[in-house]
Amino acid sequence: AQKITQTQPGMFVQEKEAVTLDCTYDTSDPSYGLFWYKQPSSGEMIFLIYQGSYDQQNATEGRYSLNFQKARKSANLVISASQLGDSAMYFCAMREIIRTGANSKLTFGKGITLSVRP
């Protein structure tokens, strides 16, 4: 079974509007971390936001916020006030902390392509 599922087809959003990118995960580890990365067409991987499984509040970083619903095992990324530069591939990833360690690998989903229309 996939540990990280990103099933949305290519997403489109109008500039200045908000958009939600979906991510569901599967783990039996009680302690885990969730990450979102952005990959523009240039190819570099850019870290956006992190949410720990025990964090009480949803993570926020500027225009990025993470809608963390633990019981549903979802960690959706919300981008507010979209900009043309937000057009990129977005990856959700998870680290299983007890099973594999606090500095262990991240397991990535297949990604979602976001296109921002002017």
Partner 1 sequence: GAGVSQSPSNKVTEKGKDVELRCDPISGHTALYWYRQSLGQGLEFLIYFQGNSAPDKSGLPSDRFSAERTGGSVSTLTIQRTQQEDSAVYLCASSQANRGQTGANVLTFGAGSRLTVL
CA distances from 29 to 19, 34, 59 (A): 29, 12, 20
CA distance 98 to 84: 39
Q: Does 90 bind partner 1 (CB under 8 A)?
A: no
The least CB distance from residue 11 to partner 1, in Å, is 15
Q: Does 101 bind partner 1 (CB under 8 A)?
A: yes
Identify the residue among 12, 110, 115, 117 touching partner 1 (CB under 8 A).
110
The least CB distance from residue 62 to partner 1, in Å, is 16
Residue showing tokens 């079974």: 1
Q: Does 102 bind partner 1 (CB under 8 A)?
A: yes
Residue showing tokens 């057009």: 87
Cβ-based neighbour number of residue 27 at 10 Å: 19
By CB under 8 A, name the binding residues for partner 1.
Answer: 31-33, 35, 43-45, 47, 50, 52, 91, 93, 95, 97, 100-111
